[in-house]
Amino acid sequence: MVVARAARAAMAMLLVHHDDELRRMLSADFQKRGWHVTDARDVPSAVAAAIRAQPDVILTALQLPGAAGFHFVRTFRSSVEHDVVLVGITSLPVRLCGDAKSAGLDLVVEKPLNVERVHCSIMAAIAPQHVHALGRARLGRRQRA
């Protein structure tokens, strides 16, 4: 069952990457852009974090320790009780990542990462869901005014 997320001051992101330094850098960059970031290093800790944090976006490496193929994508999606945008990070050219998209990722971004471009792509992917979940109440108030 998909449940609309409760309104929060900041959008929530789960960042999953096995490279500790890259994960810290991305986390700091997204926090500067107003995100609430929870991070995880592998699939089991990411699933636990997703259940706990209920993120709007999961930004994940496509190659994770202990993960075979892209089965973790379905697990990540089912760990969140509302629509979630799943974004994969890869060192391969995006054109070679058709399997990842067919596994359920909404977006795949290629390394080296340009955080501003990734942020803009995520916001474009979130916009329809975010507007649907939160915008109707706001639009209703404006129309009555």
In tens, the pLDDT along 16-41 reads 999 999 999 999 999 999 999 999 99
Q: What phi, psi does 59 have (nearest 5°)?
A: -105, 115
Q: Which residues contact 36 (CB under 8 A, 6 or more apart)?
A: 8, 10, 11, 12, 13
Label residue 54 left, alpha or beta by phi (over 0 means left) and psi (-120 to 50 means alpha): left
Task: Say yes or no: domain 12-144 is CATH 3.40.50.2300.
Answer: yes
Q: Which of helix, strand or coil describes residue 93?
A: coil
Helix %, strand %, coil % of the chain (to 5): 50, 15, 35
For residues 109 and 89, is the Cβ–Cβ distance under 8 A? yes
Mean pLDDT of 58-69: 83
In tens, the pLDDT along 100-142 reads 777 788 888 888 888 888 888 888 887 765 544 444 433 343 3
